[in-house]
Chains A and B, each alone.
Chain A
Amino acid sequence: MKYLNEYRDPEQARQYLDQIHRITTRPWAIMEVCGGQTHSLVKNGILNLLPEKITMVHGPGCPVCVTPLNLIDKAIYLAEEKGVVLCSFGDMLRVPGSEKSLLEAKANGADIRVLYSPLEAVRIAQENPGKQVVFFAVGFETTAPANALSVIHARRLGLKNYAILASHVLVPPAIEAVMSDPDSKIDGFLAAGHVCTIMGIEAYHPLAERFKVPLVVTGFEPLDLLQGILMTVRQLENGEARVENQYARIVRREGNVRSRQVIEEVFEVSDRLWRGMAVIPRSGYEVRETFAEFDAKRKFDVRIPEAPENPDCIAGQIMKGIKKPFECPNFGTQCTPVNPLGAPMVSSEGACAAYYHFSGMVEQMNGEEGR
């Protein structure tokens, strides 16, 4: 496919790798914030081909992984107790709540549907006027405008039976939180290309300045990632700390202006708990008062006590880049994609699942019968 396959060319990849090896003289820790990039780095074997001096640290950029336990419990409650048609992106289904996952609730008979686009949820609401439909609106800035537009469509159609359960997180405050944590020692960042496609790159200049780190807006294909890493290492070796745009074929400086307007219309910025981490100030979106009737949190007023996290899961340390998945004692033993203890083992973009599926680490640990 055009604009996809050519960015997977092995010969070009080798040249990029050679160049990275040539210029790397000191140890550098580079965080890719986005789980999609983690997935691609691991899947394409890039981690094993980089110079030993370069450590890729996998950031908290998997919205599924950082969706609070309590919100998953709420979604399950809405589906089971309120008879709501609960619609969700697929990767949310197996994430463990305090007692069960959405998938288990579905197996028990709750009406839970996996969708590709929030607009399909609006259509389901339109076709089922007798039922309440809730879309589990999980995502980063990339997905926020689509979720916001579903609400705008529902209003335009005069629907009274559609609402979203918003679970939105924002990237720049997460970078700030990572850099402010005294335990993390990150030298540079690959900024998430698709988040910047929507939001633009202006928000990253103050971060580069304040924390003296290079931030390179990077795409998702092997050549994109290798070029992003090369640009970051070049800056680090030269003592620079700038924002650069590797993904200029897609990302404009101002982002997608229309999308930003849509987000602004429906959402407001709020403090937000990141599962396994902490409350990060001004790091999420909630539905505005003006759209309260489409906000499942207001509409259903579900109060569910906060449940404790599974103490065996060290997802927080994984997502801050302090530990690697295979350093978790449960990795590949108690915790597998089929039987996950924590969210990062569920989503294909979670660091634990990425390592489990692709790195061969489990095979190495368990001998031949690893899987």
Chain B
Amino acid sequence: MCLAIPGQIQEKYMIMDGKVPMAKVNFGGIIKEVSLEMLPEAREEDYVLVHVGFAISIVDEVEAMKVFEYLKEIGELTDLNPGEEFPELQQDDGKDSGE
């Protein structure tokens, strides 16, 4: 129901006497017409997330990489302070209710 997929804007244009911004969006080779009414600031070549025919968000390219960096970040944290970041690891189950 809330399915939304990312595609790349190829071309912007207007409909309804210039009132409604639209775009041709490329989803892995399939081109669809998408309304930009909720995202008029989107530009050609931007990747946008599309839901039921409307673009609803521009993909942030910097943030998009963070899924791959997160593990490294927390990995470094745990390597620096072994046992400190997750003190529970050193203890037996259930004995450390902690709160």
Binding site for B on A (CB under 8 A): 1-4, 6-7, 12, 15-16, 19, 22-23, 25-26, 34-36, 61-64, 89, 91, 116-120, 138-140, 142-143, 145-146, 149, 153, 156, 192, 194-195, 197-198, 223-224, 227, 230, 234, 237, 239, 246, 248-252, 256, 258-259, 262, 347, 349
Contacts and interface: CB of A to CB of B under 8 A. Distances in A.
18 contacts: A7-B67, A25-B86, A35-B1, A63-B1, A91-B1, A117-B54, A138-B1, A142-B4, A146-B52, A149-B38, A192-B2, A194-B4, A195-B2, A227-B67, A227-B70, A234-B74, A239-B99, A256-B38
B53 A117 contact: yes
B3 A36 contact: yes
Interface in B55-99: 56-57, 59-61, 63-64, 66-68, 70-71, 74-75, 86, 88-89, 91, 93-94, 96, 98-99
A3 B59 contact: yes
B86 A118 contact: no
A197 B1 contact: no
B46 to A, nearest CB: 11
B71 A256 contact: no
A143 B2 contact: yes
Contacts of A258: 37-40
A139 B2 contact: yes
Contacts of A143: 1-2, 51-52
B10 to A, nearest CB: 14
Given A3-B59, A237-B88, A116 B67 contact: no
A259 B56 contact: yes
Contacts of A64: 1
Given A4-B5, A197-B4, A250 B57 contact: yes
Nearest to A12: B68
A256 B39 contact: yes
Nearest to B29: A1
A34 B60 CA distance: 23
Contacts of A119: 35, 53
Contacts, number: 144
Interface centre among A64, A142, A249, A349 (most CB of B within 10 A): A249
Nearest to B61: A249
A76 to B, nearest CB: 20
B93 to A, nearest CB: 6
Given A4-B6, A118-B53, A258-B37, 17 more contacts: A1-B27, A3-B59, A26-B93, A64-B1, A117-B53, A117-B54, A120-B53, A139-B2, A143-B1, A149-B38, A156-B16, A197-B56, A198-B56, A239-B98, A249-B60, A250-B59, A349-B1
Chain A binding surface SS class: helix
A2 B1 contact: no
Most B-side CB within 10 Å, residue of A62, A64, A153: A153
B2 A25 contact: no
A250 B49 contact: yes
B28 interface: yes
Contacts of B99: 239
Given A25-B91, A119-B35, A194 B96 contact: no
Nearest to B27: A1
Contacts of A156: 16, 19
B71 A19 contact: yes
Contacts of A249: 59-61, 63-64, 66-67
Nearest to A224: B67
B88 to A, nearest CB: 4
A276 to B, nearest CB: 16
Nearest to A171: B2
Contacts of A153: 16
A142 B2 contact: yes
A259 B56 CA distance: 8
Contact of A248 (B66, B86, B94): B66
B93 A25 contact: yes
Nearest to A140: B2
Q: Which 6 A-B pairs have the closest CB atoms?
A: A117-B53, A1-B28, A25-B88, A249-B63, A249-B64, A3-B6
A16 B35 CA distance: 36
A369 B54 CA distance: 43
Contacts of A227: 67, 70
